[in-house]
Amino acid sequence: MNDRFLLDSNVLIYAVDRRDPRKHEIALSLVLDARAKGTGMVSFQVVHEWLNFLLRKAATPFTPNDAATLYAELVEPLARVESSRSLLETALSIHAVEKLSWWDSLIVSAATDGQCARLLTEDLQHGQTIRGVRIENPFR
């Protein structure tokens, strides 16, 4: 059974943002579990969105050095899906066929590229399956 999963940027954001304590606790648990078991991963896109949050949108924006340290300690071990021509081609197909936004198409494509059974996000319909990837909202 495939127990691999991709974490969307909102999970990483809640893992460091304490404004919603319930979501923070769930997200941090998911990130730590993903690291401990080695079954969770994030994509190039997710890392970029998360760093943008840290540097620009956090209640108190991080310095570049602090963001780099947090990335190395928390997220880097999960960064396993790189951008590629194949990932982009799959995203274009998902965008055309499934009618998802471009950014959602990229994240689903990353999950397929990482051979993930699940995509953990609050941005897509919970329970939906796209290209063999089950969408799950861990904050439901």
The CA R_g of the chain, rounded to the nearest whole Å, is 14
Across the strands, what pairs with 7? 120
CATH of the domain at 100: 3.40.50.1010
Domain that holds residue 43: 5-136
User: Does the CA dihedral 135-133-53-22 come out positive or negative?
Assistant: positive
In 10 A of CB 76, how many CB atoms?
13
Mean pLDDT by 10 residues, the chain (140 residues): 90 96 98 95 96 96 97 95 94 97 96 96 95 97
Could you tell me the pTM of the whole model?
0.93
The pLDDT score that the predictor gives to residue 86 is: 94
Number of domains present in the structure of the chain:
1
Per-residue confidence (pLDDT) for residue 2, from 0 to 100 = 81
Output the pLDDT for position 51. 97
Torsion, Cα 21 138 35 24, to 10 degrees, reads -10
